[in-house]
Amino acid sequence: NGRYFAVGSFNMLRLCDKTGWSHSRDAPEVGSVSAISWTADSTQLAAGSGSGSVLFGQLVHREISCGHLEVRQEEPHSLTVLNVTDDSREDLQFKDRVTEMSLSATNLVVITSTQACIYSTTNWNTPHIVELRGTVSLILQCSRHFLMVDTINGLQVLNYDGRVVSQPKFAAMRPDALSTLNVAYAPDLIAVIGHADAKVVLLLDPLTGRQLGTVQHTIEIEQVALSQRADLSRRRLVLVDKNRDLYLTPVQGAQELYKLHIMVDSVAWNVENDALAAVADGQLLVWFYPEVVYMDRELLPSTLSKQAADWGKTAEIVEFRDTRVHVRRSDGATVSTSISPYPSILESFCSSAEWEPALRLCRYVKSPELWACLAAMAVAGKELHTAEVAYAAIEQVDKLLYMCHIKELPTIEAREAELLLFRRRMPEAIQVLVQGGWVYRAIKMCIRLFQFEKAYELARTHQQHIDTVIFHRQKYLLAHGVEETIPKLATAAQQLGMLQEDQIRAKVDAEKARERERGGATTQ
């Protein structure tokens, strides 16, 4: 499965991790080791020596942990489950040797050479048992079901009762090449780096097995990871490419790749919230709210925590849960470090629309990082008052004034559109206004952004305010002292002839009056 490799030399056999550090070293008196071969399940090896001896080895002393539970394999046919909170211990015996295991907060999945045993962490006596035909090389768990890869069926999604939910397939799939680096798993999505083209990430539905879409990159991708807590519309994918650059993208809608960092060794999402951790250039980086990229990307540096330490060049994030990050250094030692607990508390408040407790928390902590997170979360939740307070706290005066401007708009559609524009989603903002019947405001938005061609197309499509567009275009050209360079606008200006400013102002005032009647506020 690519996690280990064995090295043989004169009177020596060494088991190493994929990053190079040693798990164990034996010194058999057999002369030079000349050949080594692994079994298909990656748990046993055979080595031949120059003296004619054949050595057999079995992987033992493997450990996995999750929260307060720790599972150890001391013998090939048994596991020990330790609960560190009450020092309780459970011994699990199997008729065949254990080849693979995976532990989550709710379930333990154990693979033997012939069976898959699915335990609940609240009951170790009666596991669900699934008979296996192939050799299992990978297990990934989420809250509702788990993914398993074997040599016969390839990708399989099973629920925790042992029932097969789906068997996703894709072109040129090679089960032996699937690993934790090129497969990412969430409750409603599977992301796999394409085997035919490593520049493509395939997005699969775990419940039906069908392909939902793809994410295209310009160079080969080496690692993918999916956020765990949101629904599919807010699910985010991060990928690390061949240059070790880290990118963030949504899995639905316009899949814009946004570069977060460079020289990234390892990356992992928090299991309990939407925080993202990465080891890059000898530092542990934690983005408390990566969604800020799609709300106000200028706040991204303010929501980033950096911890410098001697992690080594090939450090790997083992687990990121709650406020603890476990990192395996290049020498094999696992180091645990803590991050601030306040961003996750703030996220829980904002996700349940408890804005007053969120404000009280930020005022108590007095952290610019926390205020920046709150500003982005408030924009995401369309909570303008909270966003206004947060931007004031971090002294972002221009954005504070813009939030005040949005609050004074008379209609829901206008406020929605201005927030979308603030988030750099202009096409959606215009669509909201047009669908709401506010064509003039959509045209005026394009004019404010100096997109006169787009404004003219809107006016011509809806056969209104063409003269308004030409009027503002002529004012723009006059202010800059230049001639018209857009043929369609020049033609329209000739057809309209001399424009009457008072007539245009009257039409605009009529539109504003209509907005006031609908919204009951003063139009800006």
Spatial contact of 330 and 345, defined as CB atoms under 8 Å apart: no
The Cα 328–Cα 305 span in angstroms is 19
Mean of pLDDT values over 437-459: 92
Does residue 25 surpass a pLDDT of 50? yes
> From residue 504, how far is each of 237, 440, 486 by CA, in Å?
48, 12, 22
Report the candidate in 466, 415, 418 with the shortest Cα–Cα distance to residue 440: 466
Indicate the average pLDDT of the chain. Answer: 90
Band of residue 501 on the pLDDT scale cut at 50, 70, 90? confident
Does residue 174 surpass a pLDDT of 70? yes
The Cα 81–Cα 103 span in angstroms is 10
What is residue 523's predicted lDDT score, i.e. its pLDDT? 41
For the stretch 308-317, pLDDT in tens is 877 777 889 9
What is residue 42's predicted lDDT score, i.e. its pLDDT? 83
How far is CA 288 from its chain centroid?
12
Mean of pLDDT values over 393-421: 93
Token representation of residue 150: 């074997």
What is residue 143's predicted lDDT score, i.e. its pLDDT? 86
* Range in 152-166, 401-415, 497-511 the model is least confident about: 497-511
Task: Give the per-residue SS3 of 107-159.
Answer: EEEEEECCEEEEEECCEEEEEEEEECCCCEEEEEECCCEEEEEECCCEEEEEE
What is residue 524's predicted lDDT score, i.e. its pLDDT? 42
Does residue 24 surpass a pLDDT of 70? yes
Question: What domains does the chain contain, in order, with CATH numbers?
Answer: 4-58 (no CATH), 62-266 (2.130.10.10), 427-524 (no CATH)
What's the number of CA atoms in the CB half-sphere (13 Å) around residue 346?
A: 31
Does residue 516 surpass a pLDDT of 90? no
For the stretch 463-483, pLDDT in tens is 988 999 999 999 999 999 999
What's the number of CA atoms in the CB half-sphere (13 Å) around residue 138?
A: 24
pLDDT higher for 67 or 165? 165
What is residue 521's predicted lDDT score, i.e. its pLDDT? 45
Q: What is the DSSP string of 264-324?
A: EEEEEE-SSSS-EEEEETTEEEEES-GGGGGT-GGGGGGGEEEEE----TT-EEEEEETTE
Helix (H) or strand (E) holding 75: strand 69-75
- Helix, coil or strand: residue 19: coil
**Residues sharing a CB contact under 8 Å with residue 412, sequence separation 6 or more, in sequence order:** 436, 519
Report the candidate in 355, 492, 505, 501 with the shortest Cα–Cα distance to residue 440: 505
What is residue 519's predicted lDDT score, i.e. its pLDDT? 65
Report the candidate in 155, 255, 54, 478 with the shortest Cα–Cα distance to residue 239: 255
Mean of pLDDT values over 482-511: 88
Mean of pLDDT values over 93-121: 92
Mean of pLDDT values over 192-205: 93
Token representation of residue 72: 């150890």
What is residue 307's predicted lDDT score, i.e. its pLDDT? 86
Mean of pLDDT values over 406-419: 92
For the stretch 224-257, pLDDT in tens is 999 988 788 889 999 999 999 999 999 987 778 9
What is residue 210's predicted lDDT score, i.e. its pLDDT? 92
Spatial contact of 411 and 438, defined as CB atoms under 8 Å apart: yes
Dihedral sign for Cα 196, 201, 207, 208, please: negative
Does residue 447 surpass a pLDDT of 60? yes
Mean of pLDDT values over 55-81: 89
Spatial contact of 69 and 78, defined as CB atoms under 8 Å apart: no
How far is CA 405 from its chain centroid?
33
pTM value?
Answer: 0.88
**Residues sharing a CB contact under 8 Å with residue 120, sequence separation 6 or more, in sequence order:** 106, 107, 160
The Cα 138–Cα 2 span in angstroms is 11
